[in-house]
Structure 1
Amino acid sequence: MSNVYITKSSTYLPNEPIVNDDMESYLGLVNNTPSKARALILRNNQIKTRYYALDKNGQPTHTNAQITANAINGLFDENFKKEDMELLSCGTTSADQIQPSHASMVHGELGMNKSVEINTSMGLCNSGMNALNYGFLSVKAGVKNNAVCVGSERFSSWMTADKFDHEAENLKLLEERPIVAFKREFLRWMLSDGAGAFLLENKPRENQTSLRIEWIDFYSYAHEIEACMYSGCEKQEDGSLKSWADYPSDEWLKQSIFALKQDTKILDQYILVKGAQSLRTSFDKHELDPESVDHVLAHISSGYFKDGLKQEFANVGLDFPWEKWFYNLSEVGNIGAGSIFIAVEQLMNSGKLKKGEKILLCVPESGRFAYSCALLTVC
């Protein structure tokens, strides 16, 4: 088995940062009415700026595949050229199409002159970590000498007003208040676009910071809990999901079937406690001393969860002091599968890391409550 190192990282955030007051200029007004929920949601999530692959007319400026390819292009240099890549592993929630696979489209965007193995991980926030794990295991087993792993999102085009106007119009016809359900509007003010990419190799780079991947663990609680975050379906009274394919096509727009939704009732109940439970399991499994961890990078969807997460970790004997935590949510927003990649890239290139330090990664996914965590060592 080979050691596996993140030898280079790169981030791509499309266009300029967008402040809270300008969000509806890009996303538009549902039913031509300013959102009443926006201010409350933004106050709780504590996001100040985010990035959209949109112009001010709500028109797309990049596809997800282009955002991803731009992040990957930042990995290439005199030590690692595009044609040296042996494996491309991509994770996203928001692919541009159902088929072909996201990694296939990214490979096409890169303009390479050779074939390469590709892997696509689809899902929610953990899809980026799943993509990383595929590359990690491939290099560790000696099947590949290197792998490029990426987490990316382009949520903005899912959140433009035209995607919700039909639902509002349908409510008018039913003589109800034309206000889109909170479970759908909630996420309009939470999500951002961007991508982060890692180069994995079986040797560290001399005279540069590399991060050795010690382990990556995954946990799912779908056997215990119903779905919380979903799209392309609608949640039923019994907690089951009814697929878009089982709805008449004229209902797809009326009910915003393809919109990303979140059941906030069960989000608070489980998201933190299950995260702490899974992390405690990993610390016990690897006999890891919490005192040995120097940096904690925990992906959170909202600043609302920041204090609660620290407390839940402390409740299971993982009381990391605040000076060890690294967050960039308020500046870049919630980029789903790309968030942990972008946080690692910022820390890795900050000049603050010292050899031998341990970096803990924690990624929750509220889809049906799945979690991942990883340990890196600075080399």
Structure 2
Amino acid sequence: MYDVFITKASTYLPNEPVSNDEMESYLGLVNDTPSKARALILRNNKIKTRYFALDKNGKSTHTNAQITAKAVEGLFDDQFKKEDMQLLSCGTSSADQIQPSHSSMVHGELNIGKSVEINTSTGLCNSGMNALNYGFLNIKAGIKDNAVCVGSERMSAWMTADKFNHEAENLKLLEERPIIAFKREFLRWMLSDGASAFLLEPKPRENEISLRIDWIDFYSYAHEIEACMYSGCEKQEDGSLKSWAEYPAEEWLNQSIFALKQDTKILDKYILVKGAESLRTSFDKHELDPDSIDHVLAHISSGYFKEGLKEEFANVGLDFPWEKWFYNLSEVGNVGAGSIFIAVEQLMNSGNLKKGERILLCVPESGRFAYSCALLTVC
């Protein structure tokens, strides 16, 4: 078995940062009416700027595959040329199409002139970590000499007003208030576009910072809890999900079936406590001392969870002082599967890391409550 190192990281964020006041200029007004929930949601999530692959007319400027390819291209240099790439592993929850796979489309965008192995991880926020794990295991087993792993999102195109206007019009016809449900609107003000890529190799780079991946663990609580975040379906009274394929085609628009939705009631109840439970399991499994951790990078969807997450960790004996936490949510926004990659890239290239330091990664996924965590060592 080989050691595995992140030897280079690269981030691509499309266009210029978008402020809170500008958001509806890009996403548009549902039913030509300013959102009443927007200010409250933004105040709670504490996001100040984010990135959209849109112009101010709501027109797309990049596909997810293009954003991802841009991040990958940032890895190429004199030590690692594009034709050297052996494995491309991509994770996203917002692929541009149902089929073919996201990694296929990214491979096509890269124009590297050769065949490579590809892997696509789908789902929600953990899809990026799953893509990383696939590359990690291939290098560790000696199957590949290098792997490029990417987490990306392009959710803005899912959140433009035209995706919800038909539902609002249908509510008018039913003589109901033409306001889309909170479970749909909530996420319009939460999500951001971007991608970040890691180069994995079995040796660290000389005279440069590399990060050794010591382990990656995953946990799912789908055996205990119903779905919380979902798309392409509608949640039923008993908590089950009814697939888009079971609805007449006209209902896809009437009920915004393909919109990304979140059940905020069970989100609050489970997201933090199960995250702490899973992390405690990993610390016990690896006999890891919390005091040995120098940097804590935890993906959170909203600043609303920041204090609560620290408290829940402390409740299971993992009381990390604030000076060890690294957050970039307020500037970058919630990039889903790409968030933890972007945070690692920023810290890795900050010039603040010292050899021997340990970096803890924590990623929750509210789809049906799945979690991942990893330990990196600075080399």
Task: Using structure 2 for the length normalisation, give the TM-score.
Answer: 1.00
Is 2:120 the counterpart of 1:120?
Answer: yes
Deviation, structure 1 residue 373: 0.1
Deviation, structure 1 residue 302: 0.1
Is 2:22 the counterpart of 1:22?
Answer: yes
Tell me which amino acid in the other structure corresponds to 1:10.
S
Deviation, structure 1 residue 108: 0.1
Aligned to 2:59: 59
> 1:99 aligns to what SS in structure 2?
coil
Q: Deviations along 1:229-273, whole A, 9 cap, x unmatched? A: 000000000000000000000000000000000000100000000
Question: What pairs up with 1:360-371 in 2 under 5 angstroms?
Answer: 360-371=360-371
Question: What pairs up with 1:44-83 in 2 under 5 angstroms?
Answer: 44-83=44-83
Aligned to 2:251: 251
Aligned to 2:241: 241
Deviation, structure 1 residue 371: 0.1
Deviation, structure 1 residue 212: 0.1
Q: Deviations along 1:58-93, whole A, 9 cap, x unmatched? A: 000000000000000000000000000000000000
For 1:38 and 1:56, locate their aligned partners in 2 and report how far apart those are by CA, in whole Å: 18
For 1:343 and 1:195, locate their aligned partners in 2 and report how far apart those are by CA, in whole Å: 11
Tell me which amino acid in the other structure corresponds to 2:37.
A
Q: Deviations along 1:148-167, whole A, 9 cap, x unmatched? A: 00000000000000000001
Tell me which amino acid in the other structure corresponds to 1:367.
G
**Aligned residues, how many?**
379
What percentage of residue pairs aligned between the two structures are identical?
Answer: 87
Question: What pairs up with 1:334-349 in 2 under 5 angstroms?
Answer: 334-349=334-349
Aligned to 1:376: 376
For 2:368 and 2:123, locate their aligned partners in 1 and report how far apart those are by CA, in whole Å: 10
**Structure 1 segments (4+ residues) deviating >4 Å:** none
For 2:303 and 2:113, locate their aligned partners in 1 and report how far apart those are by CA, in whole Å: 44
Question: What pairs up with 1:306-325 in 2 under 5 angstroms?
Answer: 306-325=306-325
Is 2:146 the counterpart of 1:146?
Answer: yes
For 1:290 and 1:181, locate their aligned partners in 2 and report how far apart those are by CA, in whole Å: 42
**Structural RMSD (CA):** 0.2
> 1:372 aligns to what SS in structure 2?
strand
Q: Deviations along 1:314-341, whole A, 9 cap, x unmatched? A: 0000000000000000000000000000
Tell me which amino acid in the other structure corresponds to 1:125.
C
Aligned to 2:37: 37
Tell me which amino acid in the other structure corresponds to 2:247.
Y
> 1:70 aligns to what SS in structure 2?
helix
For 1:345 and 1:276, locate their aligned partners in 2 and report how far apart those are by CA, in whole Å: 24
For 2:274 and 2:167, locate their aligned partners in 1 and report how far apart those are by CA, in whole Å: 34
Which segments of 5 or more consecutive residues in structure 2 lack a partner in the other structure? none
Q: Deviations along 1:331-357, whole A, 9 cap, x unmatched? A: 000000000000000000000000000
> 2:119 aligns to what SS in structure 1?
strand
For 2:84 and 2:346, locate their aligned partners in 1 and report how far apart those are by CA, in whole Å: 25
Tell me which amino acid in the other structure corresponds to 1:4.
V
For 1:248 and 1:75, locate their aligned partners in 2 and report how far apart those are by CA, in whole Å: 45
Aligned to 2:291: 291
For 1:239 and 1:320, locate their aligned partners in 2 and report how far apart those are by CA, in whole Å: 36
For 2:44 and 2:86, locate their aligned partners in 1 and report how far apart those are by CA, in whole Å: 43
> 2:120 aligns to what SS in structure 1?
strand
Q: Deviations along 1:281-322, whole A, 9 cap, x unmatched? A: 000000000000000000000000000000000000000000
Deviation, structure 1 residue 98: 0.2
> 2:112 aligns to what SS in structure 1?
coil
Deviation, structure 1 residue 112: 1.0
> 2:226 aligns to what SS in structure 1?
coil
Tell me which amino acid in the other structure corresponds to 1:177.
R
Aligned to 1:170: 170
Tell me which amino acid in the other structure corresponds to 1:224.
E
Task: Using structure 1 for the length normalisation, give the TM-score.
Answer: 1.00
Which segments of 5 or more consecutive residues in structure 1 lack a partner in the other structure? none
Q: Deviations along 1:39-67, whole A, 9 cap, x unmatched? A: 00000000000000000000000000000
> 1:296 aligns to what SS in structure 2?
strand
Tell me which amino acid in the other structure corresponds to 1:176.
E
For 2:218 and 2:170, locate their aligned partners in 1 and report how far apart those are by CA, in whole Å: 41
